[in-house]
Amino acid sequence: MKKIPSFTIDHLHLLRGIYVSRKDEVGGEVVTTFDIRMKEPNREPALGQGALHTIEHLAATYLRNHSVWGERIVYWGPMGCLTGNYLLLKGDLNSGDILELMKETFAFIASYEGEVPGATPKDCGNYLLQDLPMARYEAAKYLHEVLERITEANLNYPASV
């Protein structure tokens, strides 16, 4: 079988950051898939399942309600490897285009208090798998260590070696 593009990224040198994973044309419009990488693959512990699930609930809710970007959000969800999330947006975009949006999103998560939206048996298929304190910690860590100190190396995939 042919390797899919996301498995051709050099994960040995991949840093935390915001990357354009792919661009697809859907119904005559470009949809950009972003790799929101919160952990360095294979070099630091993955995100805890409860924290990542809470980040998913909070980010998806925040983004879909965003006054500027809300109508362009297609999807926000966790990576199977537990090192980050995928964000799909309508439009032909680059990593820098969404930097401020990601700063806002992760600041929202880092300071969130209260009930996690959608974390009820009626609304979620695994509503007990939530960890708001760790979600806040991981969001603040990503915000302060990566998003607020972003470099080109955190915005463009490493060249394959």
d(CA 60, CA 54): 10
Question: What is residue 6's predicted lDDT score, i.e. its pLDDT?
Answer: 73
Neighbour order of strands in the sheet with 73-78: 17-26, 29-37, 84-90, 73-78
Taking only the tens of pLDDT, the chain with its 161 residues reads 987 767 778 888 999 999 999 999 999 999 999 999 999 999 999 999 999 999 999 999 999 999 999 999 999 999 999 999 999 999 999 999 999 999 999 999 999 999 999 999 999 999 999 999 999 999 999 999 999 999 999 999 987 65
- pLDDT given at position 10: 83
Cα 111 from Cα 109, distance rounded (Å): 5
8 A C-beta contact, residue 40 and residue 15: yes
Are 88 and 74 contacting, i.e. CB atoms less than 8 angstroms apart? yes
Contact in structure between 16 and 154 (CB atoms under 8 Å): yes
**Residue 111 CB partners (closer than 8 Å, separation 6+):** 136
User: What is the value of pTM for the model shown?
Assistant: 0.94
CA distance 144 to 51: 17
**Cβ atoms 32, 89 nearer than 8 A:** yes
Superfamily classification of domain 5-151: S-ribosylhomocysteinase (LuxS) (3.30.1360.80)
Helix, strand, or coil (residue 90): strand
Instruction: Say what the pLDDT of residue 128 is.
Output: 96
